A and B are shown apart, each in its own frame.
Chain A
Amino acid sequence: MRVVRLLILLLVTIITPSLASAQTYPSAQDPRTNLKPGRFDAGVAASNMRLVSFSKKPAQFDTVRGLTFINSDLAFGTHFVYQANFAGFTIWDITDTAKPTLASVVECITSQGDPSVVGNLLFISAEGAGNRNDCGKGGVQDPKDHMAGVRIFDVTNPKAPKLVKNVQTCKGSHTHTVVPSPTDANIIYLYVSGQSAARPETELAGCKNGTDPADPTNSLYQLDIIKVPLNHPEQAVVIPGARIFTGLDGGGTCKQFCMPVNPNRAAGGRGGRGGAPGDAAAPAAAPAPTGPRNCHDVTAYPALHLLSASCSTHAILVDISNPEKPVRLDALADTNNFQGRHTAAFSNDGKKTIQTDEWGGGTGPMCQASSMKELGGNTIISIDAKKKQAQHGYFKLPAAQSAEENCVSHNGGIIPVPGRDLYVQGWYQGGIDVMDFTDQDNAFEIAYFDRGSIDPPAGADVPVGAMAGQAAGARRGSGTIGGSWGAYYWNGMVYSSELDRGLDILELTPSAQLSANEIAAAKLVTFTEYNPQSQPKMTWPAAFVVVRSYLDQLVRGSGLAADRTSAIAAALDAAEMKSGAARAAALNALATQVDGDVKGAKDGARVKTMAGEIRRLAAAK
């Protein structure tokens, strides 16, 4: 017996990779700990970033009742920010980021409302059982009025968006991701992830639940795809989905220990939705696979024809060279019960991904000092030349949050600093955080912004009625869900969708962790449109701030001897004073010198990249 146990221990030790954890348990000494609670007067702690403006939620969505009116995700186009809400969406004109103005507020019950914008079309995910075709309140009376899928709005006039079409899908749409056709500029695909079981066929024809992932008529076990002709959005159609979940049994084939039959269940089950994995209605002879049947979200990197899918227990890497026929390249399961895979992001070079884990679904306080640190955070995954994934470190918000603060790793995007991999993201009431994951084994925080909890501690006995202007008892211990749904860097600013409070716009401020040159270099990368889950490739123009970003990084990391970095800085200053051919000559001469620095440098690769950037600058007109 003892020998057997020892063997198991050994086995467990062997199969559990030792994952470096960059963070220790959340610090209770952090300035973010014990901030004053309050909806609009909460205490604030910020590091290396500054709040530029805060805009309250429009009145139509300003309610304290549960999740019905919470803000969700963001999409970006020209000078507008599209902020979704479970009950519609808001279009903000951010021409002046210090003073955003409302272009329009559209009331349309659509949880959870994940948005994307392409040209004059706004796509909104609909999943909740109460969403109706007509956007109306009061819930679905007749199942035929149920809208679960993607709504398409024409936002040509941002002051008066028009609903063009509701595209219905079997599992509804929790999220969706825009994948452009590589051959036809008029075609985009929406990769749709739905969390629910398939709808009954009486509600939507052709929908079917089943346990066989390979069965092409089974509506589960597939990534749904909608094809949209941009010039005729009313012709958007559901095309056959991608069956990327086949053969993904996490625990091997179920031969020895299959799901026990639930003794409380009537024979024959209830039909209809029976057959979902884990549903005891599945016949004992045909157990459901243990692997995922859907993803929460997928992030496309169209320039590299890759998709990183966040699917429950698995991180799935998919080739999307042909967006109508995605092909699974690799699937990686976590060994630490990291199961709420939520969202992914690629490093700009495509050699790493971040996978986030929405432990607790976003409504739980999972960043307390006692919370498990390997759950509810990010994990960094490398992708090798053969497109195989390997898991590296974990990162979790390093500041303990209170029991009143729903907190877990949530949505974010890359900050385009050359030479580094930076990710800004929302952690609900854990605030906004910027993570450096350049070193895949040692991700760390470089900036944050956090407010105190919306609610006071639940036990505090605040007399009802003493809180002016609020419904009796509405906010006392009511478990208000709030914080940053997602935080994204777009054209120089960080935008964060606050679930309960409104829209925050922030900017990064120079620090020892991030220099003024690096911030300026990031501002050189702009996108007319930005949908974070359809990740654009970032390229930088030749610029002094780009070269100096690499130089600052070499100084910070002691990647090159100090006398050389000083000399290079001086040479860059001198070259910048010159113009035309003289500047080009000075830069070329400097580049040749820097070539010579590569060999002896601690971070030779970075020195080499810098030499290339100096040369590119020399060639720039």
Chain B
Amino acid sequence: MLNYRLGVAVAVCTLLAGVSSTASAQGGMSGMAGMAGMSGMDHMNMGPEIVIPAGAIYTKADVEFMQGMIAHHAQAVVMSRLADSHGANAQVLKLSKKIDQSQIPEIQIMQKWLERNNQFAPDTASWHHVRMEGMLTDEQLTQLENSKGVDFDRAYLTFMIMHHAGALKMVDDLFMTPRAGQEVDVSVFANDVVTAQTSEIGIMRGLMAKLPPK
């Protein structure tokens, strides 16, 4: 139990450390964020080449999805943990807490799936160098970090809607890839992402509509 808690604590520290060091740590990577139309990611930054064992029901696209979604989730958690210190309103704070508490265990689900299948499992720090669909650019993250109160609420909701829409796009791309998305754990997980994030987008748009006009 202790070891486990420690593991989580380390992961959390890594995530949070990422927030303050974002601007400098990612200066060189920002060019990747604007790759319009590129789905998937740059695997030079992700890990070893993916080898699919004979007879496996999952494909390279499944492994890439699980690996890439770890970074995607990690950035969402980083964004969400800004809410408390940035004066988010009560409803936005509650939503951010929900996203945080939802996605941390999902990261573990993805990591454990990759480990069970002897695939490289990225850690949460991977969000620094991996840019999946809908993830924030360095500039957008800086903008979020520099906003307070209602401005933060607006930036957070805007970016998180975009972020979630990106996750849905990743799922779409997965299921549109021939033979992908059939392994049961991946299939269930991907559908859970759709269910949770589709409704969260609805909730966020509702919260947006309640913000005072600019």
Q: Which positions in A face B, CB cutoff 8 Å?
A: 1, 4-5, 8-9, 11-12, 16, 65-68, 86, 111-112, 127-130, 138-141, 174, 195-197, 249-252, 254, 256-260, 262-267, 270, 272-274, 276-281, 289-293, 296, 312-313, 335-337, 339-340, 359-361, 363-366, 370-372, 375, 402-403, 457-461, 477-479
Bound-complex Cα distance A462 to B190 (A): 31
In chain A, what residue has the closest Cβ to B116? A478
Give the docked Cα–Cα distance between A276 and B199 (Å). 12
A291–B199 alpha-carbon span in the complex (Å): 7
Q: A264-B134, A276-B172 are in contact. Are A250 and B213 (CB under 8 A)?
A: no
The answer to whether B169 has its CB under 8 Å from any CB of chain A is yes
- How many residues of chain B get a CB closer than 8 Å to chain A's CBs? 80
Question: Given A111-B184, A364-B105, A458-B7, do A195 and B191 touch, yes or no (CB 8 Å)?
Answer: yes
Of A67, A112, A257, A265, the contact of B36 (CB 8 Å cutoff)? A265
| Residue numbers in A under 8 Å from B38 (CB-CB) | 264
In the complex the two chains form, is B57's CB within 8 Å of A277's CB?
no
Which B residue's beta carbon lies closest to that of A8?
B89
Q: Is the CB of A251 within 8 A of B202?
A: yes
Interface residues of B in 5-60 (CB under 8 A from A): 6-8, 33-38, 57
Chain B residues positioned under 8 Å from A457 (CB to CB):
1, 3-4
Which residues of chain B are within 8 angstroms of A111 by Cβ–Cβ distance?
184, 187-188
Residues of A within 8 A of B36 (CB): 263-266
Q: Which residues of B contact A (CB under 8 A)?
A: 1-4, 6-8, 33-38, 57, 89-91, 94-95, 97-98, 101-102, 105-106, 108-109, 112-113, 115-116, 131, 133-135, 149-150, 157-158, 161-162, 164-166, 168-169, 172-173, 175-176, 179, 181-185, 187-189, 191-192, 194-203, 205-213
- Whether A252 contacts B206 in the complex (CB less than 8 A), given A278-B197, A403-B4, comes out as yes
Enumerate chain B residues within 8 angstroms of A337, measured Cβ to Cβ.
94-95, 98, 200, 203
B195 and A130 form a contact (CB under 8 A): no
Query: A4 and B150: CB pair below 8 A?
Result: yes
User: Besides the contacts A138-B57, A141-B179, A478-B115, what 7 more A-B pairs have beta carbons closer than 8 Å?
Assistant: A5-B150, A197-B175, A265-B37, A273-B176, A278-B168, A478-B112, A479-B109
Contacts of B134 in A (CB 8 A): 262, 264, 280
- List chain B residues, Cβ under 8 A from A86: 184
B147 to chain A, nearest CB (A): 14
Residues of B within 8 A of A4 (CB): 150, 212
Q: Which one, B102, B112, B182, B207, contacts A251 given CB within 8 A?
A: B207
Cβ B182 vs Cβ A139 within 8 A: yes
